[in-house]
Amino acid sequence: MIFARIAALVGAVLLVGASAAEQPAYYVKDGSVFAQFAGQTYEISGADWAETYPFKSIVLTADLDSDGKLDAVIALATGGNCCPSEYAVVSHRGGSFFANATHPDFTAWNDPTLVQTPNGPLLSVRQAPDGVGNTSLEESLIQFRLEGGQLREVLNIKNAAMIVSRKTLTSKALLESGKDQL
């Protein structure tokens, strides 16, 4: 029990039947993503990671596809508040092979969460249009499954609930009232 708590605190996850030496270790250094495995260090990259995303971090490591190997969720950020982080999953496929899985909807202002289901783990993001110039209250819940090194969207739903307002003021109502100044 104590070991499980310590492992959770430092972000280390040892899988049943696999020693730490048999699992890749992921880390970010000087703006690049690396994986260490079997005494070798590999730099992991995406199509435009170096040019587009100066800020990268590992937000989650877990066996996301139930293959017994650790995978890592990487946050890719441009900085500022114009755009939410995009996310990628680095999946160890065996030996020196690592896949980089992305999806156009795998973006959010908050990091993805891991949801355990009877059919295996899912990555869940809540999308809400925040940041500069966004005024919509629309919110979506999107879930992904990692299969064969690729992300597959398994759920994409909109939030049907909104907080009830006591009074609604629209520009149309304001103009119709003849009060063009507040």
Q: Where are the domains of the chain?
A: 2-176
Segment 50-98, tens digit of pLDDT:
888 889 999 999 999 999 999 999 999 988 777 889 999 999 999 999 9
Identify the H or E element spanning 9: helix 2-10
The C-alpha torsion from 48 through 54 and 60 to 62, rounded to 10°, is 40
Evaluate the CA torsion angle 159, 142, 33, 54 in order and state its sign. negative
Rounded distance, CA 103 to CA 16, Å? 29
What does each of the 182 residues of the chain score in pLDDT, given as a tens digit?
A: 333 333 333 333 334 445 555 899 999 999 899 999 999 999 998 878 888 888 999 999 999 999 999 999 999 998 877 788 999 999 999 999 999 999 999 999 899 999 999 999 999 999 876 655 555 677 899 999 999 999 999 999 998 887 777 777 777 777 888 765 55
Other C-beta atoms within 10 Å of 75: how many?
A: 20
pTM of the model: 0.76
Q: Specify whether the CB–CB gap between 90 and 26 falls below 8 A.
A: yes
